């Protein structure tokens, strides 16, 4: 790994998310005047406008990159509508594969929506390259002389990933054209924490006097809830203002996609999983539109809502159901006691009682609440009084309410725009890497003799030797 470039003009951060991805940047001059002056791109898909785009990527039959984000969804949907999608490779929500695989191999394969396989490295690097190139084009509109060497790049990763997964992302970035001398890896909770330190108290939702969450010596738990994972770690502010990790990052796959999966499971429970599978495979445009509609609706779900929720459901789903079952969903749903008077299907509308809608959050939110209670019973975390909620899923009023009820004695801080905390913080970190206290180092000695029994061949058929490093201890520098 080379020395980080010091002769840069701007910092660009890429947040490669499970559900949504985006980028942000700022020049050196902007940072010196206002660290929070960060530019991001606005992406659109129908009624859905966002500072991030969908983490979906499309390749043609030759495995050549075609499109990314909302654009990839729309293209693939159109091809599916014309029954011309079979030779294309369409990937969505694949980032979690790096979390799921305990023994990650550089050459492992990803399965697309139709079960066809491509190299994971090719898929990840193509996505990073798209975001990199998109950002470069935007920068060059305002700063025509901008070239690659002028940029310091920051790529964010979940803190709960192991070192192998983080290294995989670094290599994917290298393949996308970002060399090590221009690349920094930022842990998502740390980036979010940096962002919040720069916000005025009012934008953190703090209006009373006396409580200063980021004073030197203060400790707080960072609750970073993204699309795929919930990252939880504990930070302490050093006298220099830098961050130090006090408690090793932990968490699970309890992010916002958990709610989407619960919604899909609800539909599958009504119409049958076979119908949902066929609907997804043959009516991809309608399937994507259905979940875009759900995304817009769920952002306004609250614990105190009482009105029924209306969802527009494509007619094609009822047509598919009728063809398989010989009746309409409207009539069929009346035969399922668990949905009696709670869920109605009228034409192209699904009407759902608020209790059913809120119930979609139970699995993820209850797991999070139990996990937090367990953490706060441990010695290293017991005296921590503040929870900092960041990440896109932290925008959910239902999640916020459940955490407040589960942790009534804690100070809950949520910035006004938690979904952008990681991106903005990553840009600030790129300008000032010293804001993160140096990491953990392991020290010991390695064996001079490599026993045959401990030699292994890795995925590239290189011969390695396991278990030859005797650990004396760890240093936090």
Q: What percent of the chain has pLDDT over 70?
A: 86
Interval 69-99: pLDDT, tens: 999 999 998 898 888 888 999 999 888 777 6
- DSSP 3-state assignment of 97? helix
Using pLDDT thresholds of 50, 70 and 90, give the confidence band for residue 471: very low
Q: Which two tokens stand for residue 202?
A: 């009012």
* Angle, vertex CA 66, rays to CA 62 and CA 69, nearest 5: 140
Backbone phi, then psi, for 378, in 5-degree steps?
-85, 150
Q: Which two tokens stand for residue 453?
A: 């029994």
pLDDT of residue 97: 77
CA atoms within 13 A on the CB side of 339: 21
Pick the CATH number of 10-188+427-435 from 3.20.20.70, 3.30.420.40, 3.40.50.1370, 3.40.50.2000: 3.30.420.40
pLDDT of residue 347: 81
- DSSP 3-state assignment of 472? strand
- DSSP 3-state assignment of 110? strand
Interval 264-314: pLDDT, tens: 999 999 999 999 999 988 888 888 889 888 888 888 899 889 999 998 889
Positive or negative: CA dihedral 40, 45, 50, 55: negative
Give pTM, 2 decimals: 0.82
The CA-based diameter of the chain, rounded to the nearest angstrom, is 74
Q: Which two tokens stand for residue 4?
A: 């980080």
Q: How far apart are CA 93 and CA 100, in angstroms?
A: 12
Q: Which two tokens stand for residue 278?
A: 């066929």
- The domain ranges of the chain are 10-188+427-435, 257-359, 440-476
Q: How far apart are CA 458 and CA 464, in angstroms?
A: 7
């Amino acid at each position: 790994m080379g020395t980080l470039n010091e002769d840069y003009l701007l910092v660009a951060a890429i947040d490669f998310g499970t559900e949504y991805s985006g980028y942000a940047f700022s020049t050196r001059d902007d940072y010196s005047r206002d660290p929070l002056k960060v530019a991001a791109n606005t992406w659109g898909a129908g009624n859905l406008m966002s500072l991030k785009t969908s983490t979906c990527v499309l390749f043609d039959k030759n495995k050549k990159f075609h499109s990314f984000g909302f654009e990839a969804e729309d293209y693939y949907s159109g091809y599916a509508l014309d029954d011309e999608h079979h030779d294309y490779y369409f990937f969505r929500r694949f980032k979690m594969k790096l979390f799921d695989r305990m023994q990650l191999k550089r050459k492992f394969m990803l399965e697309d929506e139709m079960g066809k396989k491509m190299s994971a490295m090719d898929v990840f690097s193509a996505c990073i390259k798209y975001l990199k190139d998109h950002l470069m084009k935007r920068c060059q509109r305002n700063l025509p002389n901008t070239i690659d060497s002028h940029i310091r790049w920051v790529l964010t990763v979940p803190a709960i990933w192991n070192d192998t997964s983080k290294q995989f992302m670094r290599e994917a970035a290298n393949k996308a054209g970002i060399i090590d001398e221009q690349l920094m890896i930022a842990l998502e909770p740390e980036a979010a924490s940096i962002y919040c330190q720069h916000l005025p108290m009012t934008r953190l939702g703090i209006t009373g006097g006396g409580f200063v969450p980021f004073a030197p010596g203060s400790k707080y738990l960072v609750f970073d809830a993204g699309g795929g994972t919930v990252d939880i770690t504990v930070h302490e502010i050093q006298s220099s203002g830098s961050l130090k990790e006090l408690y090793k990052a932990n968490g699970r796959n309890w992010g916002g996609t958990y709610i989407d999966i619960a919604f899909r499971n609800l539909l599958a429970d009504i119409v049958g999983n076979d119908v949902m599978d066929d609907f997804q495979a043959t009516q991809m445009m309608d399937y994507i539109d259905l979940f875009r509609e759900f995304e817009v609706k769920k952002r306004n779900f609250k614990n105190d809502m009482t009105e029924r929720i209306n969802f527009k459901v494509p007619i094609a789903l009822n047509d598919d159901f009728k063809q398989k079952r010989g009746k309409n969903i409207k009539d069929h749903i009346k035969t399922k006691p668990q949905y009696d008077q709670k869920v109605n299907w009228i034409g192209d509308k699904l009407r759902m009682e608020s209790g059913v809608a809120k119930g979609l959050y139970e699995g993820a939110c209850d797991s999070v609440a139990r996990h937090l209670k367990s953490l706060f019973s441990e010695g290293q975390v017991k005296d921590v009084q503040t929870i900092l909620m960041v990440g896109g899923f932290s925008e959910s009023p239902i999640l916020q309410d459940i955490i407040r009820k589960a942790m009534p004695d804690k100070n809950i801080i949520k910035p006004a725009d938690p979904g952008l905390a990681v991106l903005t913080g990553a840009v600030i970190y790129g300008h000032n890497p010293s804001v993160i206290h140096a990491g953990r180092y392991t020290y010991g000695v390695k064996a001079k003799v490599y026993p045959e029994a401990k030699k292994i061949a890795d995925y590239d058929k290189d011969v390695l030797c396991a278990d030859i490093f005797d650990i004396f201890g760890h240093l936090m520098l």
